[in-house]
Each structure stands twice: as C-alpha cells, then as structure tokens.
Chain A
Amino acid sequence: MDPHADKPRLDEFSIAARAAKELRTGMVVNLGFGIPMLVSTFVEPEREVLLHSENGVIGFGPVVVDDPDGADPYCINGGGQPVMKTPGMSFMTHDQSFELIRGGWIDISLLGALQVGVNGDLANFQVPGKIAGSLGGAQDLAFCAKRVVVLMTHQDKHGAPKLVERVTLPLTAPRCVRRVITDISVIDVDADGLVLREIMPGWTPDEIRSVTGPDLAISPDLVEITL
C-alpha cells in the first residue's frame, strides 16, 4: 500500500502548466510525446515562444481541440494533432527539421521519461516487457537540445521511483537531463546530484526523498510549486 496514496499530486495538465513557466520569449522549444504535448495550451501567444515539431514546422500555435472542421491536416504537430496556424510560422522538410535539432538550435526540449538517472541519463523509448520501442525524434532531441527538461510522474504505476541511481531500461541518451518536473516536485540534475527546487504543497522533503531513488539534496531556496 502506497503510504502517499491520498496526498495531492499535479495532474498531467498541471505538470504541463508548470512546465510552461520554463519557456521565455524568443526560445525555440520542442514538445515531445506525452505530457509535453499539453504544454502548448499554456503558452499565451504574447510570449512569442517558437514551438518546433519534428515533422517540420516551427512557430505554430496551440492544438486545435474539439473542432474537426477547423482542423487542418496539413498543419499537424509531432503527435499528429492539428495545431493552429500563426503569423511567423514556417514549414521545412524532415531533414531540415533535424538539422535544426542536431545543429543545436533547440533551446529547450521537453520530453517524457520512463527513468532518469542521477547522472542525467534518460530512458524513454522502450517500455519493460515490450519487444521493441520507438525512438521517434526523442534521441536527436535528447542528444542535441541545449537544455533537456523531463516531464513525468514521480513514480511508475507500481509506485517505484522513476528517478534512479542507474537507468536500467534501454538508454535514449546519456547525461542529458537538466531538470525534472513531476507531479510532486521540480528537481534539478546537477553535477553533484539531484536537488529539490520546488515541492508540491502537502508533501515534506523527506516524503519526496522516500519516493526518489538517489540521494536528494534540498535547495536552500526551496519553494512550493506554483502554476
């Protein structure tokens, strides 16, 4: 029985809302599969963040929801969802899209994860028990973005920590994750280990430690998560 089962946690949309605070005007940002896809909803257009998607589009708007007639099949994001056309956007070929990624032009890559190691190792493409996984564009992003921020639940569905001493699942990229935003915490992956920066109201640092694999230092500037 999970002793923390009744404690408050951010849902996926709230994790996305918190992640949106990482994005500032002029940044080139790629939103990966899973929770990161939800982030576009929380970036108001005035902020002028350039959203990039692997399939070859940059500068697009939020996902078009509940409007199948208004959805343009020629304007989709990396998750195959229709997105809004906005002034300033541009299209490119797939190889050009990954020149942008490999060339280091992505300021922040937001990615989902299955495991993150204390050294920043990322595993996010092959679920345990599956015969194969799908790398998609995540590997290029994890290797080449200027900053990789992971959005994930703090624990897996069995309650096991997803922040681990050593990644045991197939590696997407080594030593790439700089920050992890979970349903109960914001944790930085620093050179000398994990540091708790923000905490979900209703949790104590020791409770966060109890569901985190490696040692977790507490930032002297620790604050509650706000959206």
Chain B
Amino acid sequence: MPINKVVDSFDEAVHDVPDGAVVHIGGFGGPAEYPSYLIAALARKGVTGLTITGNHSGFGEEQIRQMKEHMATLLPYPDDYFSAGILIERGQVRKGILAFPVLPGGRMELPFERLLKEGKVELELIGQGSLAERIRAARAGIAAFYTPVGAGTVVAEGKDVRWFDGRPHILERALKADVSVIRAHQADRWGNLVYRGTARTFNATMAGAATVTIAEVDEVVELGELDPERVVTPAPYVQRVVQRPKPAMTSWQTPC
C-alpha cells in the first residue's frame, strides 16, 4: 500500500479540526505565500474558539478588496487571497499569538484590533524571531529556550529571567499547534515540499510544528520528480497535501 498524503479537497483536509484548536497560519505578508484555501476551508467549516499563531492577524473581507486597489500598481493581488481576518471577523478566533496584530502605520483597523477593543479576542504579542523559534522548537522537540530578545519589555512579563554572558535572557516556551496550515509550491505524495523564493518564510518554519501539518500547494508532482537537493521540508513533517484549484476561486465560500 503506497503512502499517499494527498487529499482531494480543502474541506476534507480540515474536516477534523476541532473547536478550540491551536492553528499555526503560514505566510508572511503577501498573498503568494499565504495558505488562502485552507483559511477559506476553516471559515466554511465554522470551527470556533481558535488560537491562531502567525506573523499577522490578517485583513477583513472588505479590507482585502481595498488592498487589491492599493497594491494594484505595486504588486497585483490575486482574486483567491483569503485571509485569517475572515476567521476573526466571523468570531471564530479566541486568541492570537502574533507579531503584527495591528497594521503598522495605522492605515486601517484590522478585525483583530477591533475585536481586541471589544474584549472579544485575547492577544499574546511576540516578536517574529521569538515566535519563529518557539515554533521551530516545537518541531525540534525542544521544550523551551533562553533568548535575550524581549528582556525588560512587555514581552518578558511572567517569563523566567536568567543571565548568560552578562545579559538578561527570558525563557520562551515551544509553541506546538494542533494544526499547521501552510503554503508551498510543489509536493509529492510523501509530503516532501519545495517552495518558491520568499514563500519559505513561516511556512517552512511551521511545517512539523503541529500534530497535523496541512500543505496547500500549487502542484502535486510524481514521487521522484522533486530534486532531493531542493527539498526544504522533508516528508515526515507533512501529514496532508492539497492542490490549489485551477482556475482560481473568487469567493472563500465556494466549497473546494
């Protein structure tokens, strides 16, 4: 019986994500490295009480439309960019562990910021480096680590402090999720992943840092087609693979 981690639909890929799950959401800031269809499937499933971790909290549905116009002359946004902001707007998120809960520059108020004001979501603010390392540590079986970053700031509140090499360090715990939803370029049926350019980012970091890692990919290729020298995420870190639809969906509500 051959290994086959490829599942037929995004809805099937997230079918068992329970209410209250901790979800690592891949990507950085652009649509090309974002697991849009997995986010859409979580929105359709209506799963609630989620704790999300990731770089940013995401745009609301209307804000994505505004961003498409805003970015048109710089970097065109595709129609199938669905953001975690949709989950937040719909009240599916309880807590965010985030580096960018609000948009820098204050150009618009993200859904997370609005709900934070209303007391409907909880924020654990963390810098990108400590967030990335906490996630990596979870994959690597390291329970916690000391870092100088954040000592003496709000990030250090409630965390152990120890001095190493003449500097205060704070204890950061590993951050393991129930599910990592990530985006990659190509996968094979074993779950090996390759990425394109800056799309590695948090996607490759989050692969394997959860009980179940689901990779949304541009293309599933035959076993053996991926150059082993180029594989960034080896197969064991990935449990499910789903291929993005062609042509692209224009609404997150369309089952796929």
Contacts and interface: CB of A to CB of B under 8 A. Distances in A.
A184 B135 CA distance: 43
A149 to B, nearest CB: 19
Interface string A29-67: 000011000000000000000000111110000001110
B244 interface: no
Contact of B153 (A33, A93, A95, A171): A171
Contacts, number: 162
A81 B29 CA distance: 9
B150 A139 contact: yes
Contact of B155 (A34, A131, A135): A135
A94 B126 contact: no
Q: DSSP majority for the B interface?
A: mixed
A93 B72 contact: no
Chain A, interface SS category: loop
A195 interface: no
Interface residues of A, number: 50
Interface string A95-117: 10110011000000000000000
A110 B148 CA distance: 20
Given A135-B125, A136-B128, A144-B149, A55 B198 contact: yes
Contacts of A132: 101-102, 113, 116, 123, 125
Nearest to A53: B198
A130 B102 contact: yes
Interface string A112-144: 000000000000000100111111111110011
With most chain B CB atoms within 10 A of its CB, the pick from A57, A93, A95, A170 is A95
A122 to B, nearest CB: 10
A66 B72 CA distance: 9
B212 interface: no
Given A55-B29, A74-B199, A91-B200, A130 B129 contact: no
A92 interface: yes
A211 interface: no
A175 B5 CA distance: 50
Interface in B77-96: none
Nearest to A89: B197
A74 B33 contact: yes
Given A82-B75, A127-B106, A140 B130 contact: yes
6 nearest A-B residue pairs (beta carbon)? A74-B197, A73-B32, A98-B129, A140-B129, A139-B127, A80-B29
19 contacts: A68-B75, A71-B74, A74-B33, A74-B197, A75-B197, A79-B29, A80-B28, A80-B30, A91-B197, A92-B200, A94-B200, A98-B129, A98-B132, A102-B133, A102-B147, A132-B116, A134-B99, A135-B127, A140-B127
Interface of A: 33-34, 53-57, 64-66, 68, 71-76, 78-82, 91-95, 97-98, 101-102, 127, 130-140, 143-144, 170-174
Given A81-B75, A134-B102, 4 more contacts: A55-B29, A76-B28, A93-B201, A135-B100
